């Protein structure tokens, strides 16, 4: 997030973890306006599997970030260190975000970034590319989207859930499920020969308890949501 009062040109700035040889050079013409956000992705493909509408992203970078804690550093194009954060999965840092798919969020972006008390546990999946959004109930209660006509029930589920929607004409539906890391774990292609209300069932099979993201694609429509397996 750009907390300055003016736009910042990040062209040729360098992102590093705690190892100097691990670096990602920000592409030219990368400008972030005041109050705006930019997402840096280790794997842009997996990111786009889940966050189909987020466009303000750069990456990928060729090194990982340790779940138990690591230093994150950002240098400007002259090599000057602009910001440095050493996060952790130990108190006072939020501990329930380690491996759960939750984010860690800043209380005060003007405060000490290295103070674990200045961070709190966010939502599963978070709201990348924008400010923190209170955790929604999608994936916790049954989904009934009156705008798109999609229904998912039951959700959460133990054995299977049903996806229901309306088609105006015959067409093929592409359905995918991803884990919280953007890995594809289920893919279905279903052809419907007529219009009307359609339903198909997703069996739990090998899905471990937790939160998953689904994506339904047909014509020029992409509908996304969350599934919760108990």
For residues 214-229, give the mean pLDDT.
84
- Split at pLDDT 50, 70, 90, the class of 204 is confident
Domain total for the chain?
2
Across all residues in the chain, what is the average pLDDT? Answer: 88
- Split at pLDDT 50, 70, 90, the class of 76 is very high
Residues 6+ apart with CB under 8 A from 200: 162, 163, 175, 188, 190
Residue 23 pLDDT > 80 = yes
pLDDT digits (tens, 9 = 90+) for 110-148: 899 999 999 999 888 888 999 888 776 444 445 555 545
Q: For position 138, what pLDDT does the model report?
A: 44
Q: For position 40, what pLDDT does the model report?
A: 96
**Which of 78, 93, 124 is the last residue in one of the domains?**
124
Q: Which domain holds residue 170?
A: 143-229
Looking at the fold, whether 16 and 94 belong to one and the same domain comes out as yes
CATH code at position 16: 2.60.40
């Amino acid at each position: 997030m750009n907390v300055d009062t003016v736009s910042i040109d990040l062209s040729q700035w360098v992102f590093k973890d705690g190892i100097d040889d691990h670096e990602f050079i920000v592409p030219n013409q990368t400008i972030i306006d005041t109050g705006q956000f930019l997402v840096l992705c280790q794997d842009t493909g997996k990111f786009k599997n889940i966050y189909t509408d987020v466009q303000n992203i750069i990456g990928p970078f060729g090194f990982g970030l340790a779940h138990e804690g690591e230093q994150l550093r950002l240098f400007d194009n002259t090599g000057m260190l602009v910001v440095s954060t050493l996060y952790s999965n130990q108190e006072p840092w939020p501990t329930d975000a380690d491996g759960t798919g939750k984010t860690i969020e800043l209380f005060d972006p003007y405060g000490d970034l290295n103070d674990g008390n200045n961070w709190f546990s966010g939502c599963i999946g978070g709201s990348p590319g924008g400010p923190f959004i209170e955790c929604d109930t999608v994936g916790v209660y049954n989904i009934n989207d009156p705008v798109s006509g999609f229904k998912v029930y039951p959700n959460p589920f133990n054995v299977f859930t049903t996806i229901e929607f309306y088609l105006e004409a015959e067409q093929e539906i592409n359905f995918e499920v991803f884990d919280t890391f953007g890995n594809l774990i289920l893919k279905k292609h279903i052809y419907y020969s007529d219009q009307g209300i359609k339903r198909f069932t997703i069996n739990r099979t090998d899905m471990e308890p937790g939160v998953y993201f689904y994506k339904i694609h047909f014509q020029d429509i992409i509908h996304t949501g969350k599934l919760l397996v108990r």
